[in-house]
Structure 1
Amino acid sequence: MERVKLPIHKHPLLPITRFFSRRGCNGCGSYGYIYGGYRCNELGCETPAFHRECAESLQEIKHFSHPDHSLNLRLNDKASTCNRCGIHLFKGSYIYICSMCDFKLDLHCAKEDAPLPILENSNVHEHPLELFDVWNSSKRVRRRKCKTCDSPLSYGKLCYVCYQCKIVFHAECVEFFPEANHTSHPQHPLKLLTFEATPDYADKKCLLCEEKFDHTLHHCDVCNFSICRACMKNPPPVCVESLTTHEHQLHLVPRRIHFTCNACGTLGEQSPYFCFQCNFMIHRQCIDLPRVININRHDHRISYTPRLGQGNWICKVCRKKVDGFYGAYTCVKCPSFVVHSRCATREDVWDMIELEGMPEEDEIAPFEVIDDNTIKHFSHDHNLQINKDGHGRILPENIVCEACVLQILSEPFYSCKQCNFILHEKCANHPRKKRHVYNNMPFTLLTNDGEVYQCWLCLQEFTGFRYKSGLSIILDVRCAAISDTLEHGSHQHFLYYFSTTYKNCSRCGKKNSVFRCDECDYSLEGKCALLPEKVMNNRYDDHLLFLSFGDINVDGEYWWEACETKVNSKEWFYTCKDCGTTLHISCVVGDFSYIKPGSHSTFTNTKVVSNTSICRPFCFVCNSRCKLTSILKLSKDGVDVYI
């Protein structure tokens, strides 16, 4: 569907026919779901959504409440008050404002063509009621509760007051008290009840939107039909059309009924939309699923299909079975890649951009091939040549890869003949842009700028290349290179990335583990999960040291080579397979191991320096000689101390 340029937003807006409920309307500022409105389809725009009537607001209007001047549509840059109804206007919502004077209207009032009446006769109270602004009232009034529902007054919502009795009411309570009709239940009026006055047999959540009731609900005691205040005020449409998910008109079935949604394949228990022609049922949140999208679990676009067909399909997000007879997302280039409809459109997985009809972006290569042995990498001014003798050749400890800041350990690498620039072959192939499970937005590869950053996944400070997403999310290239599935030598099963729940790390005990096993109670935090598999430490051994996971066979007492303490055979450690040398992880990998010597750390007046000389300095904290290859030099009162 083509996007439309409207005055209310800086980007063209995409018409939507689905229920959209993430942040409410960015036009009028009201919360709750939007159906049949507009949304922004620009990457990184935080998906502003608008009611149709709000999005289609004119740039300039004349209004009876301010006849002398025209009013212009503007983004409200500060908290203020509507001059017609007195409701508080939040910063960031759209309003109509007079450029000649300080007159303002909210979008609802701008569409009204008559003055607000004083309610002379209402079912809720015997005296006249007048609108008032909760925000600008006194603290004493703000603390009062609605006389009808006994719940607190709400900022940004219309309220009525009786000045004779000094009592207040929500506007919704006045409108719907004691009962009112509703399109989803036309046979009987619905009574306004407080939650405490609700019959025991009544449901505890809304039949239409499944939200739990707070203070009030609207109930039919004849049919045991209960809905929330939001659905009473803003009824879902009885009939909808959405060619994305179904070719026929869909009808709301507002009742408790168990069904399987044809669009997502998951169970539902109330109020589906139903096609009378072909027995098709769908959740309201699955109506008009996007056809083509990008997700952070795959490098290619994926497309919605109403039916996969027979097969043993497993969702690549939740790792559960996908029923091929219901809708799902698939990749045209990777036939085995399948994702549940609900999993693919999760807010932490999908970047919220619909790609149907949009051309695919050309992939930008990280380097230009000069010849079989030479490349021109985007990060360096000179050509780089491949070292074909990389296997078996170990460079000195102080020579590290510019991208990952790890040593060159018997791996192929590119080097510059004109300067000391070196890249692992695998690091030279890191893509310029990529998707990563840590964020739903794409990441861009940036080169070393001399600053020290902290990786959001492993929480380690580092220099070198980095991937950045949005304004601030940063990953080092080591963490960015892993996917949501981690095969780790410490455990027999695969570990999977979890973004929401945290458990104690099975190695260090810290409660920030992000990689967990689906089959047993094993998890690792990012720092532990991404420890280097092999390192070099010439002070204690001339060979490579390999990461081991508590699988050492100890007969009698053994001592760690660096700190001369007893061996705990159940700990992780580094060991030489040739000599049997064993070292604590903390004696090999420290807080500054991923920072190139010479870089200034985030601490004040500090610098990371190499610690590879014969005589190593004493640590200012523990008063023992520093064992790590990179340490922190701190200038304290004109004297250099080391940490």
Structure 2
Amino acid sequence: MDSSIVAMDPLHHFDHEHPLYLVHLPQQLHHKNENADDEDEDEVEDEVEFVEEDRQCNLCKEQIWSFHLCCYSCKTCNYSLHKFCAELTDDLQNHPLHPGHPLYFYSSDDYEFKCHVCNLMQKSISKYICSTCDFRMDIICATLLEWKINHHSHPHQLERMSCPIVSSCVACGNKHQGVFFHCTTCPRFLINLECALLPTKLLIQNHTDGTFTHSHPLTLAYSVPNSEYEAKYYPKCRVCGGIFYSHLWIYKCDKCLYYAHVDCATSKREPFMSIFQTASLGKTYKNFKEDEHPNLLHCPFQDEGDNLLKRYMSNQHKLIGDSKQHGGEMLTHASHQHPLVLFDKQTPAGVSLHDPMKRSQLLCDGCVKPIMTVPFYVCCQYDDEQYCFVLHEWCAKLPAEVQEYVGHPEHTLFLLQKIPSKFFGVFECAVCELPSNGFAYGCIMCDFYVDINCAFIPKEITHDAHPNHLLSIVKLLKRCKACRYWTERWGFYCPTCDFYIHVECALLLPRVIKHKFDKHPLNLRYEPAENQTSEYFCEICEYQFTPWEWFYHCTTCAQSMHAACVPLILQCEQNTYVNSPKCVYKFLNVKFGGTLEIKDHPHCLAFVQGLESDGMCNQCRDRLQYNMIFKCLECEFALDFECASSSVI
């Protein structure tokens, strides 16, 4: 930004051979409410931002800033002076800091001396000396009374302190060593030079990424009112994840729920925290090399039709994709009493592919994941009015065992179509801790079982929520960044950034999902959506939620849904998410269907998810909603899962 040189009589300074001319320093204006709507433009108030000039005062060696308003500069050579430095005379009479004797100017040299005002050893800086009492004062202290700032954060004028100190700053709350400005009226108001010169607007770079994913500039705010803080769901700093204090300065976006500490927003200490004024000033890099991780899994998966098991089996040399199989091929599988038929070009009559938009649900009996494309296997004796047994092609050809499993390395895990000791085949996976009635890999002697997706968990992954850094499989007691739930569980962890997500949050939430409540695809969000500051309500359960947990969002319709509510396809009831500590739908790995005969009831009971209308269990009187239940479709009779297991004929 060009400075303007005022055409007026030049100043002939005693310490410089050329004439000096007065220069008005540029004052960069910003709107206080730049994000306001157009109709409010008349009420917008301008705010001055302090701009660093590309020049230094040749006498005091201090930087020249725009808050100095003007300076003197030489047109012939690169020589500049603060206005108050330039106006000093070669001798000072009755200076406030040494009123008794005259002081005489000495140009800067290599001689080191101690300033008797600030008690600092100085070198290469101009000074004043009293010949009577050998009093020495550097030129910074000589002009100390001129170092004043009118700062928007405070109603009173701020003055520079006489010497560098170590103190807490009221702006950022941290301790600093160096130059401070203070208020003579409010003695506890101290801000360090770095905070005093913070830009009013800046762009912030996302963690571990070289691009600016937040498109709006952040505005410097000098406090956060408690009412605003509460209304914004008690936001956390987007850089460090820490909490805010209402009396400290922050950077925020008025168009989005985006907040950052001032020191986090301007920190260049770590590559993943680098903040730049423009996109061309820097770039971050991966902490790993792609060629050293040829089979690295990149999460999240694109949609419901993709999953870990499919990826793993597709990488095996023997079968998926390369096998020359034909429709109609018969397969005898240990998991089912009837032969299975392969359909590779079209679906059999009466069976529809999984399609949430058409309320059509088709789940594999092996992995309990949607079957969205051919080929797949179907029981040759299927009945379109009864429970249909189907398998993905890859689920029909799983290996018989898994050795040296990360969660149970001491024993081999064997493939089990049904776990004999588990009622109705339902078990809790030891890794994702979700109930499942699909195939499992297990160690019967240790009663250790995992669902077939979790059986092939890689040791390392990357995830869009924390790009360019490897996440390693660990078992830790930490708070998950996705669901915000604190527990000791298996998850993926980046020790450099202390970033942790549960296994199920990383692997079971696809990037894009479809739901009958929205005609557009819903995208997985890791943070509040841009251009939305209104409250977030789930379109399914209609409950308000905090956008700091992962959720699904349609930017076109501005609709949002709990990640745990989205998978509901065939039935939709309010309050589906209530009391859920996870982002993942509780029964994502359970295929409902099938019937059960029990004693003391004449009808068969259907295996379903409990709804509010199902009321209480007929045996224990506990509420059935949100639970796995067995329900009579002919009369008002239902049992919860535990009661039904003790009532089997």
TM-score range, shorter chain: 0.3 to 0.5
| Bigger share in helix | 2
The structure having more radius of gyration, on CA atoms, is 2
Q: TM-score when scaled to structure 2?
A: 0.35
Q: Which has the higher contact order (CA 8 A, sep 6+)?
A: 2
Q: TM-score when scaled to structure 1?
A: 0.36
